[in-house]
């Protein structure tokens, strides 16, 4: 990372522990938010939007990280020149969309490895004024993860956009599904015993793994895990698939699971199909996914005005944790009835959701941070990420079509970069569709084959649901 200014005097807003981990010598994590414009981009209004709408959403967008004399990091507000944060690349002229698709993909790869300078606020806006197969032009927000998490960034985006059909009508703020509450209190003591035993067992397994220096056991080298220690700093390729939410709901209703469970099961099957296609033996390997969870009690998005009227900092920042989910292995039944694969994934996720591993993760990292310091805790997070094969994160986006700086947005997805893994999966909902993004280690994972395997998984699931 770049050199950090040493602060001589006290600054009131300290950097949160997770923000500290994400902006360290071992981790450099940021988010790319990709908004596809329905019309050619006119960038003349972008500066005004960023200065008068984007920056006021949080002081962090106009702050840099500094360090006090005790080695503690803080946020310090600075003057922001918005134009210095806007990047407009020049591509070679072409008459073929395929060429612009390739140039766009190369540009995503390029900015995925470029570090954000520490002497300026940790964000950029990239404006691609060239058509691609998906859009007439593309906006890319590049936001360092130390600024916040998916909830924070989606709240910010919702404050920057307007309804495309009628800008005077307020946007409908989407809400993510709340966590399932345990029903143990309504059960008698005999019924509670198995769940109590499961909780004790999960706590024992957690601390046993924690003492080995990571929150996860180390996955082997497979078709989706290279095992490179510096994989978080290597170039990535990004591909994505668009799915109808109604199709996912067909699977959900058939199996009586949540939309997330149906979709994650579909993703897991696609990954196993890819592993089998690339290396039959690796498809049998133990493979762990880290599912990122929002730990806030408030699950619905709020407008910036509502957040500022209360205590915005209480809901801002990084309030996430990892849930470790072993991916089911392919069996003969998985091919003949892929819905069994979803049910098995659902069973595993449900068990993990009720375990003590999630709350204990925060306790452990807090202990490491207090005893050994934030750098040691960052190394622990990095090792946990590196030991697992992939991460999955989900953001609930707008229900109706929105416009950014008077540009109707036809598609939207995001990608988390720098998570120290060969494969990152993101899910974004928007206008009744889901975009599943795959960020893959360049030169190691074949993103086209992975995309194809996921589409095969989706077709298998839908065919099984409809028969």
Q: Going by DSSP bridges, is the β-strand pair 13-14/423-430 parallel, antiparallel, or unpaired?
A: unpaired
pLDDT at 311: 55
Give the pLDDT mean for 55-59: 91
Domain definitions of the chain by residue range: 13-163, 185-300+317-398+420-466
**Backbone φ, ψ for residue 424 (5° rounding):** -125, 135
Cα maximum dimension of the chain: 72
- Alpha carbon separation from 106 to 149, 231, 324 (Å, rounded): 26, 18, 32
Residue with tokens 């395929």: 98
Token pair listed for 351: 């068990």
Q: Are 13-163 and 185-300+317-398+420-466 equal in CATH topology? A: yes
pLDDT at 305: 66
Residue 418 Ramachandran class (φ > 0 left, ψ -120 to 50 alpha, else beta): left
The 10s digit of each residue's pLDDT in 300-321 is 677 666 665 555 555 677 778 8
Give the pLDDT mean for 43-56: 95
Give the pLDDT mean for 10-18: 74
CATH 3.90.230.10 fits 185-300+317-398+420-466, yes or no: no
Q: Are 394 and 414 in contact, with CB atoms under 8 Å apart?
A: no
Distance from chain centroid for Cα 467 = 34
Averaged pLDDT score across all residues of the chain: 85
Share of the chain above pLDDT 70, in %: 83
**pLDDT band, residue 282 (cuts 50/70/90):** confident
User: Strand, helix or coil at 326?
Assistant: strand
Q: Quote the pTM value.
A: 0.89
Q: Are 162 and 403 in contact, with CB atoms under 8 Å apart?
A: yes
List CB contacts of 39: < 8 A, sequence separation 6 or more: 136, 137, 407, 408
Q: Going by DSSP bridges, is the β-strand pair 407-417/423-430 parallel, antiparallel, or unpaired?
A: unpaired
The 10s digit of each residue's pLDDT in 332-373 is 555 668 898 889 888 888 888 777 777 777 788 888 999 999
Q: Are 273 and 453 in contact, with CB atoms under 8 Å apart?
A: yes
- Alpha carbon separation from 212 to 18, 69, 157, 353, 384 (Å, rounded): 21, 33, 40, 23, 11
The 10s digit of each residue's pLDDT in 146-162 is 999 988 899 899 999 99
pLDDT at 185: 41
pLDDT at 178: 44
Distance from chain centroid for Cα 371 = 29
Beta-sheet strand order (sheet of 73-77): 13-14, 73-77, 63-67
Give the pLDDT mean for 207-212: 53
The 10s digit of each residue's pLDDT in 394-416 is 999 998 999 999 999 999 999 99
**Can you tell me the distance from the alpha carbon of 326 to that of 217, in angstroms, rounded to the nearest whole number?**
10
Architecture of domain 13-163: 2-Layer Sandwich (3.30)
């Amino acid at each position: 990372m770049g050199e950090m200014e040493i602060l001589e005097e006290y600054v009131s807003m300290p950097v949160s522990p997770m923000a500290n981990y994400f902006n360290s010598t071992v981790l450099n994590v940021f988010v790319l938010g990709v908004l596809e414009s329905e019309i050619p981009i006119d960038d003349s209004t972008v500066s005004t939007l960023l200065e008068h709408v984007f920056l006021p959403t949080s002081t962090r967008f106009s702050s840099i990280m500094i360090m006090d004399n005790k080695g503690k990091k803080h946020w310090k507000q600075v003057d922001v020149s918005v134009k210095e944060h806007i990047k407009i690349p020049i591509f070679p002229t072409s008459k073929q969309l395929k060429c612009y698709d390739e140039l766009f993909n190369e540009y995503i790869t390029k900015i995925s490895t470029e570090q954000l300078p520490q002497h300026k606020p940790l964000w950029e806006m990239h404006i691609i004024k060239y058509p691609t197969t998906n859009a007439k032009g593309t906006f890319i927000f590049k936001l360092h993860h130390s600024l916040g998490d998916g909830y924070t960034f989606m709240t910010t985006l919702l404050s920057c956009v307007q309804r495309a059909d009628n800008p005077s009508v307020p946007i409908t703020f989407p809400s993510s599904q709340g966590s399932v509450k345990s029903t143990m209190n309504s059960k008698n003591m005999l019924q509670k015993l198995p769940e109590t035993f499961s909780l004790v067992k999960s706590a024992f397994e957690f601390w046993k793994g924690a003492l080995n220096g990571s929150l996860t056991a180390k996955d082997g080298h497979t078709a989706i895990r290279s095992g490179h220690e510096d994989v978080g700093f290597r170039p990535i390729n990004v591909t994505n698939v668009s799915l109808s939410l109604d199709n996912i709901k067909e699977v959900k209703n058939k199996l009586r699971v949540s939309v997330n469970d149906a979709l994650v099961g579909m993703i897991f099957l696609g990954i196993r199909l890819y592993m089998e296609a690339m290396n039959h033996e690796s498809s049998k390997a133990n493979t762990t996914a880290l599912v990122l969870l929002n730990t806030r009690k408030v699950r619905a998005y709020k407008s910036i005005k509502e957040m500022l009227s209360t205590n915005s900092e209480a809901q801002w920042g990084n309030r996430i944790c990892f849930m470790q989910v072993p991916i089911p292995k392919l069996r003969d039944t998985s091919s003949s009835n892929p819905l069994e694969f979803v049910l098995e994934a659902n069973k595993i996720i449900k068990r993990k959701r009720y375990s003590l591993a999630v709350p204990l993760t925060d306790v452990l990292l807090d202990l490491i941070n207090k005893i050994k310091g934030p750098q040691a805790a960052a190394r622990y997070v990095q090792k946990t990420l590196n030991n697992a094969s992939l991460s999955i994160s989900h953001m609930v986006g707008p229900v109706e079509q929105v416009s950014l700086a008077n540009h109707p947005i036809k598609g939207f997805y995001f990608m988390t970069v720098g998570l120290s893994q060969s494969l990152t999966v993101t899910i974004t909902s928007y206008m009744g569709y889901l975009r599943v993004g795959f960020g893959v280690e360049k030169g190691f994972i074949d993103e086209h084959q992975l995309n194809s395997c996921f589409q095969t998984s989706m077709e298998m699931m839908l065919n099984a649901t409809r028969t």
